Chains A and B, each alone.
Chain A
Amino acid sequence: MRTMRNRRKIETQMERQNRHKAMESVAVLDKLKNDFSKPLEAMNYFYDLFERVYCKRESLHDRSVKVGTLCIQVPYEIIYALDAVPVRLCNGFHTDDEIGSDFAPSKACPLVKATVGQFSSGNFVDRPDLVVSPTTCDQKSKAGAIIESMGYPIYDMEFPRTKESEESREYWRRSVRKFTKDLSKELGVKLTRSKLKKTIRRIGYAQYLYHRLNTLRKSDNPPILGVDMFLVTNAFFFDRLESWIEAVERLVEECAAKTEEESATYQNSPRIVYTGSPPIFPNLKIPLLIEQSDGLIVADETCSSNRMFNDMISVDEWFLYDMVDSISDKYLKGCTCPIFTKNSDRIRRIINLVKEYHAEGVVYQAFAGCQVYEMEQRSVLSAMEKEGIPILYLESDYSPSHLGQLTTRIEAFIESLKNRRRKKACAISQE
């Protein structure tokens, strides 16, 4: 009774996962490229990069030793100085989140589930040779153990939960020194003073470029969309350092010219500071919704973007041990992650960003299941209230559904910012 239908090959599990990832990527890139007027020429490098890696599955570090990192707290400088390439594996794919749900409670953080999901499928464009898991938040610490049980070599890098005390500083310094020694041994590469100095300088230059780009966003005529900016900083997770630097150099040049233009592109859009759980490609859902609703993200406080570049390493003496300690200080003292017991630094930084970037409101996103961001919501909200800064708190995950409700909330928030602006203008003209 069966029809003589044409039998077609059924996709393998891996082919299916790759198709899912390509579909998710295209959906976001498509919106970035088409939904906004006046695209930047230099952004094409980044659009292509993400398409090459996630749709065409092109390897970028074919011949290098790759050190996977599960958190922003792993010092890139040391990995580069040991002739290896760091690849940050914090994951934004919904399809991996679904795969990871088999290994973690359903209410766990989607980022952690997606990361675990990718390891369980073993489906990497650039497969890591070693994975470093800092013991920052609970879920990431436990994820490290789950990933290890899947047969990956995991290096637990101990991280303190307070940052004010001298003990925690010393504890973390020892942890970084140990990591440096162990990695050097593992890779069979000796760390030299000149190499470490060179990589500190090179990453410092990347940070400088980021700061130049960011500073341009303070202008009355901000040249770049927040979603584009997230794409640029997300690319730093895995791109070749030198290609990234070149592309951002071009971007800085174009943006600098654009701020000089007379007609401002985003003049009427309320300026927004974005904070909370990190948007990681392709989960740029909330930033996209903000900017599709005519808001403009002028600055952010997230570990997938600003926090990677914000603080520079300051070295007193260019001796090997001093450099390693300086690196460890930068990673601890500059960190504004909510895993710390107290986190007044983060609140201060958000307020500073609002002032420096002339922002009119803050959007705070917490991933459903990311307890620390959920818990810190109260203190940030009340601090903003004290300062008279409007803030919108959103909880979301990686699922593409329920966009309608989120859109309504975001649109209403942006409209309220527009109203404030109008009232302010009226008040000034009446004076």
Chain B
Amino acid sequence: MRYFAGIDIGSTAIKIAIVDENGDLVGHKISASGSMFYKYAKESLVDLLRSLDLKEEQVVYTVATGYGRKLFKEANEKISEITANAIGAKAAAKDECEIRTIINIGGQDSKAISIDNEGNVVNFAMNDRCAAGTGKFLDVVAMNLEIGVDELGKYHFMSQGTPLSINSTCAVFAESEIIGLLGNNHSIEDIVAGVHYSIAKRIIKLVKRVGIKDAIYFDGGPALNEGLVNAIENELSKEIYIPKHPQITTAFGAAILARESYGYLQNS
């Protein structure tokens, strides 16, 4: 059996997905990017293959994507995370719905991608170079509130009052806004809900730029935060599709592409 790997080197995490000849996901791994992308990506791949009982030679084609893709020299091919994300999302949801819009929130940026019924990218929009409304922003918020980033969802649903507005578009200023709200004795729950709504509103603006078409897919680490999911659904008045492993959609897309490229090269 031959296998194909997709490696997504992001600003915060390295995501690796392995698919088999049928294009089915056989394993994945998520590890921190740290300071040495290349070294950690390599180690992570070796670890994953060991845990799956696979030999390195069995992985016949590798596609790298993400912000650090150019650093991964061994890759047979490199593609942008936009293309990989579109392919991955379409494949991940193929049994349940046809994805036309993708929301991706990563560690340092957020994107909205519109795809046609064949999975081609029609249009996409990205936030400006700013951390507000990204995963990093959620990290900062959780740190300020002295709670874990994985607890944000829980606090969101415990909010009793009106979610508090966070107006600053800058993560640094938003931080001081949050400290101010804490100083005025507002509950952590209401602040968390406010943060989620402020991110949601910003994301919706991005999505509107590419056009909102059903079904909508949400991936990236923050998609694990149910509070944020709830805020986005409320702002959109629509249900959104959350995959089982929201963090690895792009790596999965790269792996599928690796399989296709390999097949194409074999045939031609």
Closest CB in chain B relative to A102 CB, distance in Å:
12
Task: Choose the segment among A1-9, A252-260, A356-364, A366-374 that binds chain B (4+ C-beta atoms closer than 8 Å).
Answer: A1-9
Residues of A within 8 A of B169 (CB): 401
Is B233's beta carbon under 8 Å from chain A?
yes
Q: Is A26 in the interface zone, CB < 8 Å from B?
A: yes
B165 in contact (CB, < 8 A): yes
Q: Does B173 contact A (CB under 8 A)?
A: yes
CB contact under 8 A between A401 and B167, given known A10-B237, A11-B234, A16-B235: yes
Closest residue of A by beta carbon distance from B198: A23
Contact of A6 among B96, B163, B226, B234 (CB under 8 A): B226
Cβ of B165 and Cβ of A27 under 8 Å apart? yes
Partner of B163, one of A5, A10, A23: A23
Contact A2 B244 (CB under 8 A): yes
Give the residue of A6, A8, A403 whose beta carbon is less than 8 angstroms from that of B167. A403
* Contact between chains at B164 and A27 (CB < 8 Å): yes
B167-A26 in contact (CB<8A): no
Minimum CB–CB distance for A53 against chain B, Å? 13
| Count, A-B residue pairs, CB within 8 A | 68
The yes or no answer to A165 lying at the interface (CB within 8 A) is: no
Q: How far is the CA of A10 from the CA of B234 in the complex (A)?
A: 5
Q: Is B238 an interface residue (CB 8 A)?
A: yes
A24 proximity list for chain B (CB < 8 A): 165
Given A1-B92, A8-B230, A26-B164: A404 touches B242 (CB 8 Å cut-off): no
Question: Quick one: closest A residue to B170, CB to CB?
Answer: A404
Q: Which chain B residue shows the least CB distance to A29?
A: B162
Q: Which residues of A contact B164 (CB under 8 A)?
A: 23, 26-27, 30
Interface footprint category on B: 20 to 34
A55 touches B (CB below 8 Å)? yes
Question: Residues of A contacting B6 with CB < 8 Å?
Answer: none
Q: How many angstroms between the C-alpha atoms of A275 and B93 in the bound complex? A: 57
CA distance A26 to B160 in the complex (A): 14
- Bound-state Cα–Cα, A24 to B201, Å: 13
Docked complex: B52-99 residues within 8 A CB-CB of A: 92-93, 95-96
Cα distance, A10 to B239, chains bound together (Å): 7
Query: When the two chains form their complex, are residues B162 and A26 in contact, meaning their CB atoms are under 8 A apart?
Result: yes
Residues B209-268 near A (CB distance < 8 A): 226, 229-230, 233-235, 237-239, 241-244
- A7's nearest neighbour on chain B, judged by CB, is B239
In the complex formed, the residue of B with least CB distance to A401 is B169
Contact check, B237 vs A16: say whether CB atoms are below 8 A apart.
Answer: yes
Instruction: Say yes or no: B237 contacts A55, CB within 8 Å.
Output: no
**A30 and B165 alpha carbons, distance in the complex (Å):** 11
Contact A2 B242 (CB under 8 A): yes
User: Which residues from B are CB-within-8-Å of A2?
Assistant: 96, 241-244
Q: Does B241 contact A12, Cβ atoms closer than 8 Å?
A: no
Residue B184 interfacial (CB < 8 Å): yes
A400 at the interface (CB under 8 A from B): yes
A212 to chain B, nearest CB (A): 32
Are B229 and A5 touching (Cβ within 8 A)? yes
| B34-60 with Cβ < 8 A to chain A | none
Known A1-B244, A19-B162; contact A12-B237, beta-carbon cutoff 8 A: yes
A400 and B167 within 8 A (CB):
yes
Decide if A10 touches B162 in the complex (CB within 8 Å).
no
Check: B107 CB closer than 8 A to any chain A CB.
Answer: no
A34 at the interface (CB under 8 A from B): yes
Interface centre among B95, B162, B170, B242 (most CB of A within 10 A): B162
Pair B162/A22 contact, Cβ less than 8 Å: yes
Q: Which residues of B contact A (CB under 8 A)?
A: 92-93, 95-96, 157, 161-165, 167-170, 173, 181, 184, 186, 194, 197, 226, 229-230, 233-235, 237-239, 241-244
Which residues in A have some Cβ–Cβ distance to B below 8 Å?
A: 1-3, 5-6, 8, 10-13, 15-16, 19, 22-27, 30, 34, 55, 400-401, 403-404
Given A1-B92, A1-B243: 11 more A-B contacts, CB < 8 Å: A2-B241, A5-B229, A5-B242, A10-B234, A10-B239, A11-B237, A13-B237, A19-B162, A25-B162, A27-B167, A400-B167
Q: Which 9 A-B pairs have the closest CB atoms?
A: A400-B167, A27-B165, A11-B234, A22-B162, A34-B184, A1-B244, A26-B162, A23-B165, A10-B233
| 26 A-B pairs whose Cβ atoms sit less than 8 Å apart in the complex | A1-B95, A2-B96, A2-B241, A2-B244, A5-B226, A5-B229, A8-B230, A10-B234, A10-B237, A10-B238, A16-B234, A16-B235, A19-B163, A22-B162, A23-B162, A23-B164, A23-B197, A26-B161, A26-B164, A30-B164, A55-B162, A400-B167, A401-B167, A401-B169, A403-B167, A404-B173
